[in-house]
Amino acid sequence: MKKALLTIAGFDPSSGAGATLDLKVFHRLGFYGLAVLTAVTVQNSYRVFGLKVLPPDLVRQQYQKLQADFNFSGLKIGLIGRRANIRVIEEIISENQNRPVVVDPVFRSSSGYWLLEKESIKKYLRALSGKITLLTPNLEEASLLLGQKIKTANDMEEAVINLSQLSCSACLIKGGHLPGRALDILYDGRNLFHFEKEKLKVKVHGTGCFLSSAILGFLVIGLDLQRSCEKASSLIHQYLKSPLKISRGRLFDI
């Protein structure tokens, strides 16, 4: 029987990131995708221009009605929008600690638009602590979470351990923007794992959403954390080689 996965994320009108991309990844991996929206963005394939955050009660109601109707097998948390939604996200993940929960922290768009108040980042991290399976920040997000700049592979190793301890979960830091090479580092609470790939000279919208959604899918299939991260990393690398050229920006052709 087909399993359902839930994404809690923002709506991207270009379908290049957020809930719309998550749903496409879930479908690609053989799942039925469900979505709770936290915000509606004004954006296209290359830039975010604005953000309208949905109120906590509406986010909660969307979740409750789906939860009463579907038995979802895992959750992915993406953009939550503003400080006001941190509490409802904490409530939701607290109810789902018996399922895989993958969190892709979204704080600022690649074009520089803030998607969560900078002063709320510490509260956000505290709300997740001890309640999730995996945290998947990129270099900038990890730097914001820790309050220190991450520039090298050695910095990444130290940061992924620190974030794992702070979140009381496994952590994968995505190093696609690391100078010279593309390196992701996973810390599962005991061991470090390095996933290194050829650095591609292409910028595609939605890489963080794609990776975290794919990891969730592989976890629900039954793979362990290391293998799930490895397969998701390989899958996204495959799609990065042939992006969809339908707009000014580059999108995943899923």
Q: What does the pLDDT read at residue 1?
A: 87
Full-model pTM: 0.96
Number of Cβ within a 10 Å radius of residue 189: 12
* Residue 207 in tokens: 């890489």
Give a three-class secondary structure readout of the chain.
CCCEEEEEEEECCCCCCHHHHHHHHHHHCCCEEEEEEEEEEEECCCCEEEEEECCHHHHHHHHHHHHCCCCEEEEEECCCCCHHHHHHHHHHHHCCCCCCEEECCCCECCCCCECCCHHHHHHHHHHHCCCCCEECCEHHHHHHHHCCCCCCHHHHHHHHHHHHHHHCCEEEEEECCCCCCEEEEEECCCCEEEEEECCCCCCCCCHHHHHHHHHHHHHHHCCCHHHHHHHHHHHHHHHHCCCECCCCCCECCC
Q: What does the pLDDT read at residue 184?
A: 94
Q: What does the pLDDT read at residue 209?
A: 96
Going along the chain from its start, the domains and CATH numbers come out as: 4-240 (3.40.1190.20)
Would you write out the chain's pLDDT as a tens digit for each of its 254 residues?
899 999 999 999 999 999 999 999 999 999 999 999 999 999 998 899 999 999 999 999 999 999 999 999 999 999 999 999 999 999 999 999 999 999 999 998 877 889 898 899 999 999 999 999 999 999 999 999 999 999 888 999 999 999 999 999 999 999 876 767 789 999 999 999 999 888 777 788 899 999 999 999 999 999 999 999 999 999 998 998 888 888 888 888 88
Q: What does the pLDDT read at residue 198?
A: 80
Q: What does the pLDDT read at residue 11?
A: 97
